[in-house]
Every structure is written in C-alpha cells, then in structure tokens.
Structure 1
Amino acid sequence: MRHNAQVSPSVTGRVLDVLDAFSADRPVLTLSELSRRAGLPLSTAHRLVRELTDRGALERDERGGYRIGLWLWEVASLAPHGPGLRESAMPFLEDLYEATHQNVQLAVMDGAEVVYLERISGRNAVRIQSRVGGRLPVHATGVGLVLLAYARPEVQEQVLAAPLKRYSPGTLATPESLRRALADVRRDGFAISDGQIEPHVISVAAPVYGADDTVRAAISIVVPKEGTDARSLVPAVRAAARGISRVLGAPRATRVAHDAHRETHRPRR
C-alpha cells in the first residue's frame, strides 16, 4: 500500500514502497520509474535502490533496469507457508498434473486473497491468470472458495461485507451466492468454480489439512470448460489433497485412509 502523502513515511515504509512498485506486468523498472511508482523523490529512490542492490534485494541489468533480487526469494522461502508445504505437495501435484496435463495449483489464504505457492502447467494447457507468487481474490477462485469456506467466521464475514468484484458473468459477486457456495463446499468437501474469472475455464479444488486438522492450503486443477465433466475430476483432486494432508500429519487424513483400508478388506458375509 502506498503511504499517505500527508503522513511522513518511515524508512521501512519507503523501502516497502520501492519493492511494491514492481508487479507481474512490470518486473523491470528504471530508477525514474521506481521513483514515480513509489511516490518518492528521485534522490531518495536512488539512495534506497542503491542500498537494496548492494544487499541483493534488487538486481540491475545491463540496460540499467532494476528487478527483484535473489536475496528476497531466499528470505521469502522462510515463510511458514513456503517450501515445507510445497515440498510435501509436489509429488501429489505432479501426479494430478499427469492426469490432464492442464493447470494444477497450490494456494494459501492471505486476507481476502489467495497466494499461489506452486503451479504446474503444460505447454497446451488452457491459459489462466494465476502465477506462482501471484494473488487473486478468494471469492472468485476455486482454491479461494475452499479456503474461505473453512476460514474463521469473522474472516468470512469480512469478505462477505466487502465489495465483491465481478470478473465475468460467472463470478459469485453477491453475498447470497457466495454464502451458498461456501455452504456447499463445507457439505461436499470440494469446490467447483465455473468460469468465475476466465469464462472459458472451470476449476475443481479441495482442502489440505495440517497437523492440527485445520485447513492449511488448497489445491486445484483448472481445465477448459468446453467438453469437461468437472465432477469426474473431483475424486482425483480430493485424493491428492488427502495425500498431502497425510504427509503433513493431519489426523483426519490418516483416519480416512484407515477407514478406506478397513472397508476394502472387510470380510464378505
């Protein structure tokens, strides 16, 4: 968030404004662009950019442009939702990807948005907006519906009370429609997001539980809407989510596996 021009920003605020100037569509910026986008005097931007570059938080290319440096990636890897969750999920995401060679995603919730920790996509996969490290609104994504459905009630009410942006005719943009969708997720244990952001795609998502049996993340598979029976993908997505949950030590995932084993090996009468 940009600082208020009426309030003198701290040094930390100025540094964050510089980093916040970068975006997916503007990954490389000149010094003057950084100054303008961060709302800082050129001299201040020059000093901060020089210090960030010396530290490795920014990198300068041969044309004089700046981009986010590797050091920030190293710091970000220490986040609690970072590599441990991703490494546990990767074998299951890869198996899920092999089923369709479309888009497979792992995401966590941050406020009213989801943050994508991983995405596997084939060369011929349908094009979608999500990317690793990117954010999308919880109300308009499959993973978001799952994460919001199992979030604390006060978090749900905050999202429901805020304006719900409409991205396509299929977006759940009213509190009533979103409440119904969240209730369906809690009842069924999965979400089907039908063309909420991109009208031509459909997403099937399921929750991933942690060691305390609370929902820690969500996974999804995103496929072309035309010619796809979304419900046929539900068993594979839920099985992958249970597998990740089991690796993370979720008691409910272990119970489900044991129940399934007993059912399979129950003696016939």
Structure 2
Amino acid sequence: MDAEIAERYRAPALDKGLDIVELLAGTDGGLTQAEIAKALSRSPAEIYRMLDRLVRRDYVRRTDGDRYELTLKLFELAHRRPPLHRLISQANPVLRSFALRAQQAVHLVIRDRGILVVVAQVDGPGYWNVSIRVGSRIGLVNTGSGHVFLAYATPEERQLMLAEQDPGREQVMPEGLEARLDRVRADGSEVMPSAQVSSVFNLSVPILGAMGSVLAVLTCPYTERLDRRDAPDLEQCLTLLKEAGQEVSNRHQEA
C-alpha cells in the first residue's frame, strides 16, 4: 500500500532536479552535462532542460564554459528567516551593551544572495552618531564587513563571492587585498578607514558558527570622541567588539 501511495504521488521532474542538486553537492570542481547524465543514468536531453531551469533559478551556475556546480543559494535559503530572526534576537542585547560601553554605534551584517545587508543597528548613548540604516546594502571589497567575510572564505569561495557582485564579468581580486585578508583572518578582526566617510574607522569582527564559518559580521564605525575624554579609544573599542562578537557566536552555537 505504501508503495502504491508513493507511486501515485511521484513527481518525476522534481526528483530529477533533486538528483542533480544532490549529485553536484557531493562533487568538487563541477560536472559537465554529459557527466551528470551518465552518473544519473539519464540521457543528456533529459538533463538539459532541468539544468537550464536550475541555472535560471540560481541554484546551479556554469563554470569553465561547460561545467556546472552548485551556488550558495541553498545554503542561504537554509539560513534565512527563522534562523536570522534568532540570530538578531541573540545579538541585539550584546549590541546594546557594546554601544553603551564603547559609546559608539554598531551594526550587524549578513550575506543575502551575494549582497551584504545590514540587519540590525544600535546607536551609541550620546546625542550624535555615525551609523548606517538597517536594510542598507554595502560593498564587499571596500568595507570592513566585506573583508571579514572574504577573509574566512576559501580561494574558490572568494571568487564566487566576487562574481556574485557583478555577474557575467570576470572578477579579479584587487591588488594587495589577499595579503590584507590573511592578516584579517590571523587577527580575527579588520580595522580600516571608511571608504565612504572621512575620519571614521570601521572595526569589524566575525560571528562564527559551530563549524567556523562566518554567519555574520559586527562592525563599529568608530569615531574619536572629543566631547568625552574618558570614552574608550580605538584599541579599547576593538577589544570590546571582539568580546561582543565572541559572545554572540557562543549564544548562537549554544542555542
């Protein structure tokens, strides 16, 4: 009876698409259409239309002309709304505590479909701030948050992340950036002048998952306080930010 029900509700096209996704998920370097067809015991014609739809829906991408590999879309979908809300709820008390102690604004950044997006932000306790609006999209190679995401990625992942910034064009890592990313990874943080606002230094640290991947980035747009000589300086703020990043990481991993 169970076999009859399973047969009645079969969805061959969906099964075919999932077979391709599962095959590519376990393959390094991608596969050609012919290799996929052979591995799944199907004809190339059967595979072509399904591959075309998967590419158009951004689950699969073409590389090296005739090879196919998975994008990060499934990973992003798996880590979307409910987990994102959980991450924000875990991070918000830590962000508020940091802002109060450091007397600086701070924001939380995630990667969403290849774009960096600010999903939470807390102002400092004073009557003025340098802050960024929730929902803002920011750059990958010209921001502290982007540098942290790149620093913890493999070389292949970096190329994919760069390609997602400008699909269809060959992407080259800016000169000197790879050496800087190595330092960011070694230090566990990025400290760089803002490329958008004068006299602002972006301090950025990762929020790490259980497997060491970067789930999000905390960034403080640090400005020197002239009205409060007792306010933490840049190095002290960086220490506080690292502590905050570690606390959010621990909360997420233990949840």
TM-score normalised by the chain length of structure 1: 0.54
Whole-Å separation in 2 of the counterparts to 1:162 and 1:84: 26
Question: Residue 102 of structure 2 contacts residue 240 of structure 2 at CA under 8 Å; is this kept in 1?
Answer: no
Shift of 1:193: 2.1
Q: Secondary structure at the match of 1:119?
A: strand
Aligned to 1:55: none
CA distance in 1, matches of 2:184, 2:224: 20
With over 3 angstroms needed to count, the CA separation of the structure-2 counterparts of 1:160 and 1:226, relative to structure 1, is farther
User: Which residue, out of 111, 114, 117, partners 1:115?
Assistant: 117
For this pair of structures, how many residues does the alignment match?
A: 165
Range moving further from structure 2, 84-93 or 100-109: 100-109
**Which residue of structure 1 lines up, in the alignment, with residue 137 of structure 2?**
135
Paired residue for 2:188?
A: 189
Deviation at 1:242, TM superposition (A): 0.6
What does residue 266 of structure 1 align with? none
Structure 1 segment 1-269 matched on structure 2, within 5 A: 79-80=81-82, 82-110=84-112, 112-122=114-124, 124-128=127-131, 130-158=132-160, 175-224=174-223, 229-249=233-253
C-alpha contact (below 8 Å) 1:88/1:248 kept by paired residues? yes
The alignment's TM-score, normalised by the length of structure 2, stands at: 0.56
Letter in 2 for 1:143: S
| CA spacing shift, 1:101–1:81, aligned 2, 3 Å | farther
SS of the aligned residue for 2:107 comes to strand
Helix, strand or coil: the match of 1:139? coil
**Percent same amino acid at aligned positions?**
27
Distance 2:176 2:233 in 1: 22
Cα offset for 1:81?
Answer: 5.1
Q: Deviations over 1:202-255 (max 9, x none)?
A: 1111111123332111111112258784323221111101101111116xxxxx
**RMSD across aligned C-alpha pairs, in angstroms?**
3.0
CA change 1:225–1:113 in 2 (3 A) is farther
Q: CA deviation at 1:162?
A: 8.8
The structure, 1 or 2, with the larger RCO (C-alpha pairs under 8 Å, 6+ apart) is: 2
Query: 1:146-189: per-residue Cα shift (whole Å, max 9, x none)?
Result: 1121124223124557999xxxxxxxx97123212211111111
Give the distance between the partners of 1:94 and 1:162, measured in 2 at CA: 32
Taking a change above 3 Å as real, the CA distance of residues 79 and 118 of structure 1, as seen in their structure-2 partners, is same
Distance change >3 Å, CA 88–CA 162, structure 1 → 2: closer
Q: Alpha-carbon deviation of 1:190? A: 0.5
The CA distance in 2 between the partners of 1:113 and 1:225, in whole Å, is 30
CA distance in 2, matches of 1:110, 1:83: 14
Using a 3 Å threshold, how does the CA distance of structure 1 residues 199 and 108 change in structure 2: closer, same or farther? same
- List alignment gaps of at least 5 residues for structure 1: 1-77, 165-172, 251-269
